[in-house]
């Protein structure tokens, strides 16, 4: 496994670190596959009680690696493959017996927003922001965002956030129920530890069965993720998406033509 994903274990807690701080922990295809493999291995571990996701550096994750997209010729195939890995990771998180906490230490964008929304609990630093981002690039949402976000904060607000790509502050996210706790950067680690310890004091069997019962609400998740995979692959073939990437690289506003 590459160092883009680092797993650290302590006292029955596994921290899965997104470790590309120079790229704001943006997902490449290799990183997405490593992320899935790390979660898959942890899911079978009886000695691991809890999984915490976190980003290295100042961001949780900027989403997909736009530089890699800019250098890719076959974008539909790229998005098909990376969506497959991310969606398998999301399904693993939902099905694994251990609770999964997203420790949002900084900005959460694009596909990472979907990943965070799929977690069981979320703690955010006041420096964290949340936004879909993909619509600003001319790309369909991914990572299960269109499935989980309406269930967390309601369809009306979710539609607005996804369609406009509006950024949401940690404080607003707390008010909407998107995150469970917000702390200043100085208090962030303590807040994550407090939630971690609270979960560790509960009986693991009951937690596992609680997740199993909630999974009954996910009966359409796999099919929904397949539709997201189709949508993002198709939108990646448009000229609008190419324009979105060019505009991002050139640091200007995109001019979409509907083609």
Q: Which tokens sit at 196?
A: 């971690």
pLDDT at 181 over 90: yes
For residue 23, is it within any domain?
yes
Instruction: Indicate the pLDDT class of residue 219, thresholds 50, 70 and 90.
Output: confident
Residue 95: domain span: 5-185
pLDDT tens figures, 18-29: 999 999 999 999
CB 221 within 8 A of CB 144: yes
| Residue 25: strand, helix, or coil | coil
pLDDT at 37: 97
Instruction: Indicate the pLDDT class of residue 2, thresholds 50, 70 and 90.
Output: low
For residue 97, is it within any domain?
yes
From its phi and psi, is residue 8 left (phi > 0), alpha (psi between -120 and 50) or beta? beta
Q: Of 118, 94, 111, whose CA–CA distance to 60 is shortest?
A: 111
Give mean pLDDT, residues 174-188. 98
For residue 85, is it within any domain?
yes
Number of domains comprising the chain = 1
CB 168 within 8 A of CB 178: yes
Give mean pLDDT, residues 62-72. 84
pLDDT at 139 over 80: yes
Q: Of 141, 135, 89, whose CA–CA distance to 113 is shortest?
A: 141
pLDDT at 150 over 60: yes
For residue 254, is it within any domain?
no
d(CA 141, CA 125): 24
For residue 203, is it within any domain?
no
For residue 218, is it within any domain?
no
Q: What is residue 22's DSSP assignment?
A: G
pLDDT at 147 over 60: yes
Indicate which CATH number applies to the domain containing 141. Answer: 3.90.226.10
Q: What is the dihedral of CA 79, 226, 111, 97, to 10 degrees?
A: -130
Instruction: Indicate the pLDDT class of residue 42, thresholds 50, 70 and 90.
Output: very high
Instruction: Indicate the pLDDT class of residue 1, thresholds 50, 70 and 90.
Output: very low
pLDDT tens figures, 77-127: 888 999 999 999 999 999 999 999 999 999 999 999 999 999 999 999 999
d(CA 226, CA 252): 32
For residue 147, is it within any domain?
yes
Burial of 214 (0-12, 13-18, 19+ CB in 10 A): exposed
Instruction: Indicate the pLDDT class of residue 239, thresholds 50, 70 and 90.
Output: confident
The neighbouring-strand residues paired with 131 are 109
pLDDT at 217: 80
Residues 6+ apart with CB under 8 A from 223: none
Is the model's pTM score more than 0.85? yes
For residue 223, is it within any domain?
no
pLDDT at 70 over 80: no
Instruction: Indicate the pLDDT class of residue 157, thresholds 50, 70 and 90.
Output: very high
pLDDT at 75 over 90: no
Q: Of 71, 218, 74, whose CA–CA distance to 144 is shortest?
A: 218
The pair phi, psi for residue 201, each rounded to 5°, is: -80, -10
Angle of CA points 58, 61, 62, to nearest 5°: 100
Share of the chain above pLDDT 90, in %: 70
């Amino acid at each position: 496994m590459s160092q883009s994903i680092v797993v650290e274990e302590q006292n029955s807690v596994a921290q899965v670190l997104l470790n590309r701080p120079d790229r704001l922990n943006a997902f490449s295809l290799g990183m997405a596959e490593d992320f899935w493999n790390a979660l898959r291995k942890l899911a079978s571990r009886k000695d691991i009680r809890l999984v915490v996701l976190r980003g290295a550096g100042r961001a949780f994750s900027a989403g997909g690696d736009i530089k890699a997209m800019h250098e890719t010729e076959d974008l539909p195939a790229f998005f098909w493959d990376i969506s497959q890995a991310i969606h398998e990771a999301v399904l693993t998180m939902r099905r694994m017996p251990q609770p999964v906490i997203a420790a949002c230490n900084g900005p959460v964008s694009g596909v990472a927003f979907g990943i965070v929304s799929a977690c069981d609990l979320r703690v955010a630093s006041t420096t964290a922001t949340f936004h879909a981002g993909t619509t600003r690039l001319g790309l369909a949402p991914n990572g299960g965002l269109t499935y989980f976000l309406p269930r967390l904060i309601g369809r009306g607000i979710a539609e607005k956030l996804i369609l406009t790509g509006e950024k949401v502050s940690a404080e607003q996210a707390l008010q909407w129920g998107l995150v469970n706790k917000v702390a200043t950067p100085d208090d962030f680690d303590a807040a994550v530890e407090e939630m971690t310890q609270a979960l560790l004091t509960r009986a693991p069997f009951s937690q596992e069965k609680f997740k199993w019962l909630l999974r009954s609400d996910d009966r359409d998740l796999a099919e929904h993720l397949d539709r997201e995979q189709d949508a993002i692959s198709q939108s990646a073939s448009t000229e609008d998406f190419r324009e979105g990437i060019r505009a991002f690289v050139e640091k200007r506003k995109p001019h979409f033509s509907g083609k």
